[in-house]
């Protein structure tokens, strides 16, 4: 039997007999690269949501309380797209989960999306930024309506956030270093999700009175970027604009320090969101800055309590992938409002929802993408300052601290 036939059979059966009929628990697959920090945070955020909800009695479904059961699915997606599609197929056909939450690498999530849509399973994405995921919803709503992006915003909206912060950093360089046209080197991992950001940076930074001195695109799992950073140092760059989601982010931070590169590293660096970044870079990642999602600042009323509880439980700060916590609470709200776990009943509820979560105040457009807004879904920016990860943007948010320039 082909994969599509098998998944279609599962979907048809689900119309009359959901997996909830086989189990009193609501089964949620948490999909992620579990050997990496991204998957660890997918799982940790989901555990916190599960434990909160179950401790309070569970989710009310048609008058009956049902517990959440999480199923950990290691997609190995950083290393293999086929592994990811096989993993999500097992979650659906073997584990018979009700919902799918997670995903990280855009190439893998695009492939997993197809499997989930074949089975008509609601899939809440918590990691992939590729715009194609929600463009699919627009192109073929009936097939792809089961997909929603929970975090992060799509690549084009990440660009909006990055440029807003870059504008502030550029202004500080002009003031502090007396450089009217700061030089920017673009250092991006070579991946599908980064393509739109690289193109936008190359096109728009000159309009922001910044000079692009070059673009470098090593592998997401590169273990040495000395050659790229040496070239960047020779270019005289004031800013290294980073677009990095994989383990290369640690290498980047450490080797910038080793080369004493007198530039600010700012952009997206998922590894720099981790509390362990400072130690992993042997203390050489000073002044590295990145977009982030969580900090002890009041982006939403739930963020500080969530971050504190996460740190107390896991002895580290959450990365954006821990927004699986919000995904599960979104499911809870929709299920309790409809009294059902039927995806087709939940979809219109989520479409109209504004959800105040730990990561963001989220609402969705017609393509099931997050609606971008500073202070709601834009996220925050943080910088490593002498061993401490400090939030500095957006400045109007309570709890933000000043951005620091490296010594010249």
53/92 same-domain check: yes
- pLDDT of 11 reads 47
Residue 227 belongs to what domain range? 156-292+378-393
239/342 same-domain check: no
CB 379 within 8 A of CB 386: no
- pLDDT of 37 reads 87
Q: What is the C-alpha to C-alpha distance for residues 274 and 159, in angstroms, rounded to an integer? A: 21
Query: What is the band of 19 on the pLDDT scale with cuts at 50, 70, 90?
Result: very low
Q: Percentage of the chain with pLDDT > 70?
A: 94
79/181 same-domain check: no
Q: Are strands 68-74 and 26-32 parallel, antiparallel or unpaired?
A: parallel
- Based on C-alpha coordinates, what's the Rg of the chain? 21
247/337 same-domain check: no
Q: Is residue 405 one of the residues assigned to a domain?
A: no
Phi-psi region of 342 (alpha: psi -120 to 50; beta: other; left: phi over 0): beta
CB 220 within 8 A of CB 33: no
Q: Is residue 181 one of the residues assigned to a domain?
A: yes
Residues β-bridged to residue 385? 388
pLDDT digits (tens, 9 = 90+) for 72-94: 999 999 999 999 999 999 999 99
Q: Is residue 401 one of the residues assigned to a domain?
A: no
Residue whose pair of structure tokens reads 């699919």 in the numeric block: 136
pLDDT digits (tens, 9 = 90+) for 350-368: 999 999 999 999 999 999 9
CB 288 within 8 A of CB 253: yes
CB 162 within 8 A of CB 291: yes
136/197 same-domain check: no
pLDDT digits (tens, 9 = 90+) for 288-298: 999 999 999 99
pLDDT digits (tens, 9 = 90+) for 294-347: 999 999 999 999 999 999 999 999 989 999 999 999 999 999 999 999 999 999
226/184 same-domain check: yes
143/249 same-domain check: no
At 275, list the tokens.
């509390």
CB 197 within 8 A of CB 158: yes
Q: What is the C-alpha to C-alpha distance for residues 380 and 164, in angstroms, rounded to an integer? A: 11
Q: Which uninterrupted H or E stretch holds 101?
A: strand 99-102
77/95 same-domain check: yes
220/350 same-domain check: no
Query: What is the band of 13 on the pLDDT scale with cuts at 50, 70, 90?
Result: very low
Q: Is residue 229 one of the residues assigned to a domain?
A: yes
- pLDDT of 150 reads 97
Picking from 378, 382, 386, the residue whose alpha carbon sits closest to that of residue 399 is: 382
DSSP letter at 96 equals -
Q: Which of 18-27, 297-306, 315-324, 388-397 has the lowest mean pLDDT?
A: 18-27
Q: What is the C-alpha to C-alpha distance for residues 364 and 229, in angstroms, rounded to an integer? A: 39
Q: What is the C-alpha to C-alpha distance for residues 182 and 51, in angstroms, rounded to an integer? A: 48
201/248 same-domain check: yes
Query: What is the band of 192 on the pLDDT scale with cuts at 50, 70, 90?
Result: confident
232/355 same-domain check: no
Average pLDDT over residues 31-50: 96
Q: What is the C-alpha to C-alpha distance for residues 254 and 244, in angstroms, rounded to an integer? A: 14
Q: What is the C-alpha to C-alpha distance for residues 151 and 129, in angstroms, rounded to an integer? A: 8
- pLDDT of 408 reads 67
Q: Is residue 339 one of the residues assigned to a domain?
A: yes
Q: Percentage of the chain with pLDDT > 90?
A: 82
Residues β-bridged to residue 269? 244
Q: Is residue 400 one of the residues assigned to a domain?
A: no
CB 362 within 8 A of CB 354: yes
Tell me the pLDDT of the chain averaged across its residues.
92
Q: What is the C-alpha to C-alpha distance for residues 169 and 149, in angstroms, rounded to an integer? A: 29
Alpha helices in 19-154 (DSSP H): 37-55, 81-93, 106-118, 132-139, 141-144
Show the 3-state SS of 56-68: CCCEEECCEEECE
**Residue 209 above 70 pLDDT?**
yes
Domain count, the chain: 2
Average pLDDT over residues 383-396: 93
- pLDDT of 7 reads 52
**Burial (CB count <10 Å: 0-12, 13-18, 19+), residue 285:** buried
pLDDT digits (tens, 9 = 90+) for 91-112: 999 999 999 999 999 999 999 9
Q: Is residue 408 one of the residues assigned to a domain?
A: no
317/236 same-domain check: no
**Residue 9 above 50 pLDDT?**
no
Q: Is residue 367 one of the residues assigned to a domain?
A: no
**Residue 400 above 50 pLDDT?**
yes
**Residue 21 above 50 pLDDT?**
no
Q: What is the C-alpha to C-alpha distance for residues 104 and 271, in angstroms, rounded to an integer? A: 13
Query: What is the band of 274 on the pLDDT scale with cuts at 50, 70, 90?
Result: confident
- pLDDT of 34 reads 97
What lies within 8 Å, CB to CB, of 7 at 6+ separation is 89, 92, 93, 115, 118, 119
- pLDDT of 155 reads 84
Q: What is the C-alpha to C-alpha distance for residues 41 and 49, in angstroms, rounded to an integer? A: 12
Query: What is the band of 3 on the pLDDT scale with cuts at 50, 70, 90?
Result: low
Counting every residue written for the chain, the total comes to: 408
- Give the CATH number, domain containing residue 28: 3.40.50.2300
């Amino acid at each position: 039997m082909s994969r599509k036939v098998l998944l279609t059979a599962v979907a048809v059966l689900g119309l009359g007999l959901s997996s909830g009929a086989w189990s009193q628990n609501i089964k949620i697959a948490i999909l992620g690269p579990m050997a990496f920090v991204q998957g660890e945070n997918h799982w940790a955020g989901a555990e916190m949501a599960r434990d909160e909800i179950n401790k309070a009695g569970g989710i009310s479904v048609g008058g009956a309380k049902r517990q959440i059961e999480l199923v950990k699915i290691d997609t190995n997606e950083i290393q293999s797209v086929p592994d990811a599609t096989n993993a999500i197929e097992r979650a659906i056909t073997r584990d018979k989960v009700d919902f799918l939450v997670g995903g990280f690498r855009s190439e893998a999530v695009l492939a997993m999306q197809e499997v989930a849509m074949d089975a008509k399973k609601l899939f809440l994405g918590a990691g992939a930024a590729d715009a194609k995921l929600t463009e699919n919803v627009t192109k073929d709503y009936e097939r792809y309506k089961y997909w929603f992006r929970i975090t992060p915003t799509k690549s084009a909206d990440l660009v909006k956030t990055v440029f807003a912060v870059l504008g502030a950093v550029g202004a500080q360089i002009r003031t502090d270093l007396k450089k009217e046209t700061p030089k920017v080197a673009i250092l991006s991992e070579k991946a599908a999700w980064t393509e739109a950001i690289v193109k936008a940076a190359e096109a728009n930074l000159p309009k922001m009175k910044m000079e692009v001195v070059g673009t470098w695109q090593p592998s997401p799992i590169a273990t040495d970027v000395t050659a790229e950073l040496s070239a960047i140092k020779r270019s005289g760059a004031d800013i290294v604009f980073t677009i990095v989601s994989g383990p290369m982010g640690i290498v980047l931070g450490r080797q910038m320090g080793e080369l004493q590169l007198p530039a600010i590293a700012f952009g997206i660096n998922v590894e720099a969101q981790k509390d362990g970044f400072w130690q992993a870079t042997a203390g050489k990642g000073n002044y590295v800055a990145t977009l982030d999602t969580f900090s002890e600042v009041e982006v939403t009323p739930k963020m500080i309590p969530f971050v504190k509880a996460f740190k107390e439980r896991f002895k580290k700060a959450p990365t954006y992938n821990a927004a699986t916590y919000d995904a599960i609470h979104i499911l809870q709200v929709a299920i309790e409002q409809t009294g059902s776990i039927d995806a087709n009943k939940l979809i219109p509820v989520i479409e109209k929802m504004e959800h105040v979560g730990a990561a963001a105040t989220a609402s969705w457009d017609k393509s099931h993408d997050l609606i971008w807004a500073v202070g709601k879904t834009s996220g925050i920016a943080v910088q490593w300052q002498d061993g401490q990860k400090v939030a500095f943007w957006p400045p109007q948010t309570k709890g933000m601290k000043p951005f620091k320039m490296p010594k010249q």
